[in-house]
Amino acid sequence: MNYFKSISLAIFCLLCVSFTAFHHGWADYDQKKVLDFKTTIEESVYENPHALAKVKYKKQLWTVYLAPTSRMTDRGLTADMIKKGTEVRLVAYPHKTKKTEMRAERIFVDSVKYELR
């Protein structure tokens, strides 16, 4: 029985570690380079694990990682509020290695601030 528990624990630990690479942690984003700009949502996806938006920044299309949908909903930010064509202001950090990816710290919709972290 102890052998079964040990094997089960080892498998559980391996599974937990294997999914770590899929998490979008803050360490991958350069928090010393704050991007603060107004733009229009070109495309959005409001689903877990994180809502996403595509926006133009400096004439390029960027992917913006927002927050989990549950956090956004709890803070009053719905899918309809970030649909295509919505004008927003973003405060975000660029990815350290992916040139057209950023993670938003906050988003302003109709001049109302929504914290995403």
Q: Chain-wide mean pLDDT for the chain?
A: 87
Query: What's the pTM?
Result: 0.78
**Range in 17-26, 47-56, 96-105 with the lowest mean pLDDT:** 17-26
Q: Is the pLDDT of residue 16 over 80?
A: no
22 band by pLDDT with thresholds 50, 70 and 90: very low
Query: Mind spelling out the 3-state secondary structure of the chain?
Result: CHHHHHHHHHHHHHHHHHCHHHCCCHHHECCCCCEEEEEEEEEEECCCCCCEEEEEECCEEEEEECCCHHHHHHCCCCHHHHCCCCEEEEEEEEECCCCCEEEEEEEEECCEEEECC
